[in-house]
Amino acid sequence: MRKNFVAGNWKMNKTQAEATELVKALIPLVKDAKIEVAVCPPFTALQTVAGLVKGTNIRLGAQNCHFEKNGAFTGEISIEMLKEIGCDCCIIGHSERRQYFAETDEGVNKKAKALMAAGLTPIICVGETLEQREANQTEAIVIGQVRGAYDGIPAQDAAKTVIAYEPVWAIGTGKTATPEQAQEVHAVIRNLLTQLYDENTAQAIRIQYGGSMKPSNAAELLAKPDIDGGLIGGAALKAEDFAGIVNA
């Protein structure tokens, strides 16, 4: 049985003071959650949030990392730096990283391998744009991204990863894939993982949905057999909204 996992991607939001306020409000609201919960603040708030969530049921994640251990990579953050602060998971390959910062499948693959070598959980994002969906390319795009991300990763490591399916056209737009649309793509991903590995590995990997999940639609989405949680954007910035999804 896969345990649902809801992670909040704060993106470029929240100062340290604002992060403190949000986490302090969130902790009592999700303390009895039966699922895994994580928050992914911006780098500048990670240390602050790490101190607040220590001893709680909230995991700490980062929004990106570099695959090299150290070196002349101005502006980058290494996995060891994240681990030292207290992160145990990290989002990689988010559509905004792909769109604005030239993130590639090859780069995502390198980051996934480096994260697992350090003992952190990669949350690997995949998803199609509106143009690609309208051109009936959804399956081809998502399959290509998953294949690229998992290239050379053995089954025992793959089973520890998390995938977040995010239809790019539903991120921050207020549009949401219907539960049926989301389930359809999640099933495609699960079937691909079975082909790449085996049934047991495919069934072990959790596939989150990301794309305007809210308290009002979370239960319906999470009821689908291949949707194992959510990677939450806008709703993660309000304690009550994020808790509402977690408790759904």
Give catalytic residue positions: 94, 166
Using an 8 Å Cβ cutoff, are 14 and 25 in contact? no
User: What φ, ψ does residue 27 adopt, rounded to 5°?
Assistant: -50, -50
What are the strands, taking DSSP E only, across the chain? 5-9, 36-40, 58-62, 89-92, 121-126, 162-165, 206-209, 229-232
Task: Name the token pair of 212.
Answer: 């305007």
Which 3 state secondary structure label does DSSP give 8?
strand
User: Which residue pairs, CB below 8 angstroms and at least 24 apart, start in 178-181?
Assistant: 179/217, 179/220, 179/221, 179/223, 179/224, 179/227
Cα-to-chain-centroid distance, residue 218: 16
